[in-house]
Amino acid sequence: MTTDFSRARTAPCGAFPALAALLAGGLLVGCGGADSPAEIAAQACDAQVRTQSGGNPYQLDLAALAASATDAGDGLQLLTAPVVVNAGLATESPQTLECTVRIADGAAPEVTHLRFIW
């Protein structure tokens, strides 16, 4: 028995580069946009504030918090930004958040200090 391959469907040659580009683009999407150490520290601070707020509403500008990051030595980042505790409630209280985060290679960020300054 023989098989006639003359009728087999093949993709035009131009399809392979396009397919390769689509696959490569899909892989790059997963690689791009890595957060900076300051953004990672700000997210860690936000998570700690969320935990300490006990579900009460608050407002915190993560971009401002990340922009404030300074090197505090020993792998620590010091971040400060305005925060509104109990946002939208009668007990709303504007304060300043001070947060220190340790960022070590390969480890999750660790909030070592969190303070609300009235």
Q: Cα–Cα distances in Å, from 55 out to 44, 48, 50, 52, 65?
A: 17, 12, 7, 8, 21
Q: Quick check: 100 pLDDT over 50? A: yes
Say how far apart CA 110 and CA 118 lie, in whole Å: 24
Tell me which residue of 37, 94, 47, 43 sits closest to 69, measured CA to CA.
Answer: 37
- The contacts of residue 87 (CB under 8 Å, 6+ apart) are 57, 58, 59
Say how far apart CA 7 and CA 98 lie, in whole Å: 72
Type of residue found at 98: E
Q: What is the pLDDT of residues 43-89, one digit of tens each?
A: 999 999 999 999 999 999 999 999 999 999 999 999 999 999 999 99
* pTM of full prediction above 0.85: no
Q: Quick check: 9 pLDDT over 50? A: no
Type of residue found at 93: S
| Angle in degrees, CA 38, 39, 42, rounded to 5 | 85
70-73 vs 76-85, strand pairing mode: antiparallel
